[in-house]
């Protein structure tokens, strides 16, 4: 269990800045506006700090719940990845619907990028270091 929390902490440390960069890039691409380098860097740093807190408060409990569900649900490991993707999609949709203005492309992008970046770091780190 100790390895699990180390993997979660390292996944948060890696996923937060990467997903922040992807969010800022997707915002620039979707809106088509030009931003100064200082504004982009400030946005990335601010989003990273917020994401670290959100990953700690929401991401770790959701990951533990999903791992519990996967242990009870999956007997063979061939569909493990697809089930993991589907299980992370449910809380992402719930957050999008409840906390944002509804389910739109921008809102889904804003939620799904951090969720799936975090999920991939956790999934592949667990495969390598925990199992």
Q: Are 74 and 80 within 8 A, CB to CB? A: yes
78 token code pair: 């061939």
End-to-end CA distance of the chain: 11
Residue ranges of domains in the chain: 2-130
Q: Would you put residue 32 in left (φ > 0), alpha (ψ -120 to 50) or beta? A: left
Low-confidence ranges of the chain (pLDDT < 70): 131
Task: Provide CB contacts within 8 A for 43, sequence distance 6+.
Answer: 20, 24, 35
Contact 77, 59 (CB under 8 A): no
Summarize pLDDT for 99-125 with one digit per residue, the tens: 887 788 888 888 999 999 999 999 999
pLDDT of the residue at 112: 92
Q: In this structure, are residues 117 and 11 in contact, taking their beta carbons and an 8 Å threshold?
A: no
pTM of this structure: 0.88
**CA angle at residue 17 from 82 to 35, to 5 degrees?**
115
């Amino acid at each position: 269990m100790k390895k699990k929390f180390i993997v979660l902490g390292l996944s948060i440390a890696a996923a937060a800045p990467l997903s922040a960069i992807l969010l800022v890039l997707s915002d620039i691409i979707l809106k088509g506006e030009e931003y100064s380098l200082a504004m982009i860097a400030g946005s990335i740093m601010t989003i990273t700090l917020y994401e670290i807190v959100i990953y700690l408060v929401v991401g770790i409990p959701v990951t533990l719940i999903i791992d519990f569900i996967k242990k009870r649900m999956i007997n063979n490991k061939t569909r493990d990845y697809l089930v993991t993707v589907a299980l992370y999609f449910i809380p992402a949709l719930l957050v999008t619907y409840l906390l944002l203005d509804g389910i739109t492309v921008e809102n889904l992008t804003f939620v799904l990028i951090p969720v799936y970046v975090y999920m991939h770091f956790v999934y592949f780190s667990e495969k390598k270091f925990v199992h």
